[in-house]
Amino acid sequence: MNTKPIIIIAGEPYSIFSEIFFKSLLKYKLKKKLILIGSRKLFESQMKHFGYNFKFKQIPKKFESKQLLQNYINIINVNFHYKKIFDKISDKSNLYIKNSFDIALHIVKNHKISGLINGPISKKHFLNKNFLGITEYLAKKTKTNKYAMIIYNKFLSVCPITTHLPIKHVAEKISKKMIVEKIIVINKFYLKNFKKKPRIAITGLNPHCESNHKFNEEIKIIKPSIKDLKKNGINVLGPYPADTIFLKKNRINFDIIVGMYHDQVLAPIKTIFEYNAINITAGLPFIRISPDHGPNEQMMGKNISNPNSLIEAIKFLDR
């Protein structure tokens, strides 16, 4: 059995993450050992708030595998000064989150791991204007130039060519190079992790894949990309209108649907699967996953959040 540990970064300290983390451990019994990176004091206080009683074992940043215990939360403590166990999200958490990621990346370089899961992060405060998302943050940190964001479900997955980009900038950003590179990354990810060549559909940019403007993205960018990908033996078809590709009779023919922008494919996949999907960054030196939701400050501490996405993330790495 693969005994490499699963690394989990707690992420934003004021979020629903601690709640869904404890619920996940109750609902799913891990086969592998788990390392949590975050504030032990805060996690224990939040655990008490929810009425749970898990066992923690604090380990050093430079640990040895024999120090990890099964059925314990092996935690690497990250200092975080707080007054309330649940508070408003602000940039006061930024250093704590950065230190957590730095520790995780150090582990990745020095240990064999099954993968990395990070709790939700506030893009407004932590990433600010420097990065579109954690996908881009980790790509920069690991010097990865070719990567793709996959919202994964075993029945159907999606990938946006552009990620957290304002809609007014999408048309100017998409290119043949970007489309080809991301679909090659996706193809390699499926071959490596599932031993299968994925059936890939690609959407158009414009409604019904049509445009009255002189520059038609479907004709000038998307169709030539598909032609080149087919020459490289990749099983890709399209472009398809985004308003019909997700109909049941159409989507069952594909493993993954690739769209031009974030909500073009994330809105339908979340409608179909709700919390039973996970966000995977393909192309990094390790598998990185996050639950497919944000910090959700409004529901923090109320013990009503759904843990299914985090459970699916853990299951993916606990194979």
Q: What's 164's domain CATH number?
A: 3.40.718.10
**Under a CB-based contact definition with an 8 Å cutoff, are residues 113 and 6 in contact?**
yes
Check residue 215 and give its pLDDT.
Answer: 78
Q: What is the DSSP letter of 203?
A: E
Do 8 and 105 have their domain in common?
A: yes
> What are the helix (H) ranges across 82-175?
94-110, 134-141, 170-173
Q: Which residues pair with 116 in a beta bridge?
A: 7, 288
The whole-number pLDDT of residue 1 equals 55
Same structural domain for residues 116 and 3? yes
CA distance 22 to 170: 38
Coil, helix or strand for 136? helix
Q: Indicate whether 172 and 265 sit together in one domain.
A: yes
Tell me, what amino acid is at 179?
Answer: I
Residues 234 and 118 in one domain: no
What integer pLDDT is reported at residue 100 of this predicted model?
Answer: 97
Residues near 264 by Cβ (< 8 Å), separated by ≥ 6? Answer: 160, 203, 242
Q: State yes or no: cis peptide before 239, omega within 30 of 0.
A: yes
One DSSP character per residue, 213-236 reads SS--HIIIIIHHHHHHHHHTT--E
The tens-digit pLDDT sequence of the chain (319 residues) is 568 999 999 999 999 999 999 999 999 999 999 999 999 999 999 999 999 999 999 999 999 999 999 999 999 999 999 999 999 999 999 999 999 999 999 999 999 999 999 999 988 889 877 788 898 999 999 999 999 999 999 999 999 999 888 999 999 999 999 999 999 999 999 999 999 999 999 999 999 987 777 778 999 999 999 999 999 999 999 999 999 999 999 999 999 999 999 999 999 999 999 878 999 999 999 999 998 778 998 999 999 999 999 999 999 999 8
183 and 236 in contact (C-beta within 8 Å)? Answer: yes
> φ and ψ at 61, to 5 degrees?
-60, -40
Looking at the structure, tell me whether residues 272 and 170 fall in a common domain. yes
Same domain, 29 and 134: yes
Distance CA 288, CA 149 (A): 10
What the block records as the tokens of 269 is: 């996949």
168 and 261 together in one domain: yes
Residues 171 and 268 in one domain: yes
Both 127 and 224 in a single domain? Answer: no
Q: Are residues 244 and 168 in the same domain?
A: yes
For the chain, how many structural domains are there in total?
A: 2
Q: Say if residue 265 is in the same domain as residue 314.
A: no
* Model pLDDT, residue 278: 93
Residues 159/182/309/7 CA torsion (nearest 10 deg):
-170
CA 180: distance to chain centroid? 21
**One domain, residues 289 and 261:** no
Domain with 269, as residue range(s), is 148-283
